Structure 1
């Protein structure tokens, strides 16, 4: 049976990413980045690791390592082609909009000004995933993480905890030694450091391979629940202080020196801890057989989660279109709400159309109306999927 939680939380993350990518959009106050230290990126990467292990471990068990590795590389190629299309189309969208509205600041803000300074070199750097416009960073991160999977799969199958320990060591080394990948043209580094973010990807994969450990996390333990809730509340106060000056003034200087900077690029420990605490609390109400996951009102979110790659790419175009509307027509609260609502509606419509197209000629999926016979894990195995396609991006 398909675990609807994977689709729901991935779809919700895609909606949040779209909303957060529209500058000046007050509707973004409802997204998770304003209620704690982690945001939709952590959700997306963790679920990507979980679903990657789910899909490709099954292929490894049934067809062996070579075939599983070939399928991973095939998926990476699909993601790479999607990224190149997204890069070209998004660059064209921004450049055309900047020209129509005579606003060259768009090219600066969206990070494509360097492309026109030397298009030939920029194209080559884009092929190497080093030149990237704004908002496209998560897709190259996922490509690099997925490329490591053929090496990780055999270890994940036999020694998942050893793999997790190695991932922790790589994370620590990257933080201490400042490891990251270079970008072009400014000589910077990747916004999402793959040497750090791999920990969350591997954590998701490990949870999929350790169902007993995962199932234990769904059991309510008073002390752990209070600790997680307390950390979430403290994180909420910290994030709120960034917007309310009197609250920020209450923080002791010595504490600020310990906490800051809270790096998103290097997946700061405070962000990682916030995501883990949030995941534990959420799992107390989001179980495999939770009836609320089948509410009709949530079906649009789940549909988007099932078509995550296409919906993500579409959301990139829609977020810039929304930014253009707010900048050149109206930035009123009504306009912000309308832009957000229309954008989400378009993403849902696209996901619905893709789901219909893919379902033609196929037998209907078995509904996840009851828990599986075995004890449900926090993220229980999904229904059998076509092995050639990883649904996590």
Structure 2
């Protein structure tokens, strides 16, 4: 007689696509923002608030780092632990470094060749990179960070420091938050404390001492969400406060002059300095994350057709960002040379959006096929082991 199971099999937890979809939105905004003549950048976050896609990107990098490496390090060996976590982090940093080098070399060589045929404004490439080969060593050692090619080095530094952040968190989450806040305050009090940049006397545009703060906030948000089945606390008063802050940001930061509209600004806000991560900026990024990760409606949106396409981009953020950066360079060159009329606008955006989506789709398909093959291999191994055990029986 068959015996009834003692307990129902546990249901597999459904993947939360909100973070991936939000990262996908940030990647698309970066794609538009890095081409100043692109009409689409009039509709990105920087026109409707204090922050832009960079704050969202780094905040989610901290969030994803906890999911990918924090939980791994906290698991006991052999499937986890500090050694395995360090190895994964170093491999990821090396991959980020390689992508940075490829993007930079493509950018420099492309602009140098383009100049043989058409005029290129000097601001497309720093004078130090325009001639000779003396720049190569500075580039290889991350001492030279051109515009639009400075966020991956920041990510490398922050990710390399992640084990230190985790160590402080294990002692006390408040200790990690306190140290991170102190470093952010220090960077804002003295912006000269920065990593040198051969191309800019002010140092790295994204000051790691300041930007680690939003990375750590993302990490702590992931810890908190992990204790609540992926959701951040979202009491009504907090969500209302976040919405009011975002609405205020729209009123204060909307480019009324560019649209030929009368200004509705209520107050005069000092410049929200990006290099040292002014508090206007990280507050807005945090408000967006809270609203997304505390909302069941956001969960439903992420499961729609559009939400899944955005999540697809977010799952392959490094490749999408890197290709988008290269395509942005060509978009700027084309628009500068041939104008930014509607024909060029449609062509450039169709190639850009289609290109990054095609790459994400191919990578996702390749990953699924690899996972299926791996699963079939494990199944065959188990079957062979079972058959071998049967053969040895008397």
- Smaller-chain TM-score range? 0.7 to 0.9
Give the greater-gyration-radius structure (CA).
Answer: 2
- Judged with a 3 Å threshold, the aligned counterparts in structure 2 of structure 1 residues 32 and 286 are, in CA distance, closer, same or farther, namely farther
1:48 and 2:48 matched? no
Match in the other structure for 1:97: 114
1:206 and 2:223 matched? no
- Judged with a 3 Å threshold, the aligned counterparts in structure 2 of structure 1 residues 48 and 250 are, in CA distance, closer, same or farther, namely closer
* Secondary structure of the corresponding residue to residue 363 of structure 1: helix
- Judged with a 3 Å threshold, the aligned counterparts in structure 2 of structure 1 residues 95 and 347 are, in CA distance, closer, same or farther, namely same
Match in the other structure for 2:287: 277
- Judged with a 3 Å threshold, the aligned counterparts in structure 2 of structure 1 residues 306 and 215 are, in CA distance, closer, same or farther, namely closer
Rounded to whole Å, the distance in 2 between the matches of 1:330 and 1:186 is 30
Rounded to whole Å, the distance in 2 between the matches of 1:343 and 1:250 is 34
Structure 1 gaps, min length 5: 366-393
1:346 and 2:355 matched? yes
- Judged with a 3 Å threshold, the aligned counterparts in structure 2 of structure 1 residues 72 and 83 are, in CA distance, closer, same or farther, namely same
Rounded to whole Å, the distance in 1 between the matches of 2:287 and 2:312 is 27
Instruction: Give the deviation of 1:14 after TM superposition.
Output: 0.8
Q: Tell me if structure 1 keeps the 8 A contact 2:221–2:232.
A: no
Match in the other structure for 1:57: 70
Rounded to whole Å, the distance in 2 between the matches of 1:144 and 1:110 is 26
Instruction: Give the deviation of 1:18 after TM superposition.
Output: 0.6
Match in the other structure for 1:226: 240
Match in the other structure for 1:68: 85
* Secondary structure of the corresponding residue to residue 70 of structure 1: helix
Q: Tell me if structure 1 keeps the 8 A contact 2:252–2:265.
A: no
- Judged with a 3 Å threshold, the aligned counterparts in structure 2 of structure 1 residues 326 and 67 are, in CA distance, closer, same or farther, namely same
Q: Tell me if structure 1 keeps the 8 A contact 2:206–2:274.
A: yes
Rounded to whole Å, the distance in 1 between the matches of 2:261 and 2:365 is 52
Instruction: Give the deviation of 1:37 after TM superposition.
Output: 0.8
Kindly report which structure 2 residues correspond to 1:1-393, keeping only aligned pairs within 5 A, or say none: 1-60=14-73, 61-62=75-76, 63-101=80-118, 103-105=119-121, 108-120=122-134, 122-178=135-191, 179-211=193-225, 212=227, 217-221=232-236, 223-240=237-254, 243=257, 247=262, 256=268, 259-285=269-295, 290-363=299-372
Q: Tell me if structure 1 keeps the 8 A contact 2:112–2:130.
A: no
Structure 2 gaps, min length 5: 1-13, 375-394
Instruction: Give the deviation of 1:100 after TM superposition.
Output: 2.2
Rounded to whole Å, the distance in 1 between the matches of 2:186 and 2:228 is 26
- Judged with a 3 Å threshold, the aligned counterparts in structure 2 of structure 1 residues 204 and 348 are, in CA distance, closer, same or farther, namely same
Instruction: Give the deviation of 1:294 after TM superposition.
Output: 1.9
Instruction: Give the deviation of 1:339 after TM superposition.
Output: 1.6
Instruction: Give the deviation of 1:85 after TM superposition.
Output: 1.5
Instruction: Give the deviation of 1:224 after TM superposition.
Output: 2.9
Instruction: Give the deviation of 1:170 after TM superposition.
Output: 0.8
The TM-score with structure 1 as length reference comes to 0.83
Rounded to whole Å, the distance in 2 between the matches of 1:74 and 1:215 is 27
Instruction: Give the deviation of 1:201 after TM superposition.
Output: 0.3
Cα RMSD after superposing both structures: 2.6
Q: How many residues align?
A: 355
Instruction: Give the deviation of 1:84 after TM superposition.
Output: 1.1
Rounded to whole Å, the distance in 2 between the matches of 1:281 and 1:205 is 17
Q: 1:293-338 deviations in whole A, cap 9, x for unaligned?
A: 2222333222111111111110011112122222222412343233
Q: 1:8-51 deviations in whole A, cap 9, x for unaligned?
A: 11111111101111121121122111111111111110111011
Rounded to whole Å, the distance in 2 between the matches of 1:203 and 1:213 is 17
Match in the other structure for 2:378: none
Instruction: Give the deviation of 1:243 after TM superposition.
Output: 3.1
The TM-score with structure 2 as length reference comes to 0.83
Instruction: Give the deviation of 1:136 after TM superposition.
Output: 0.8
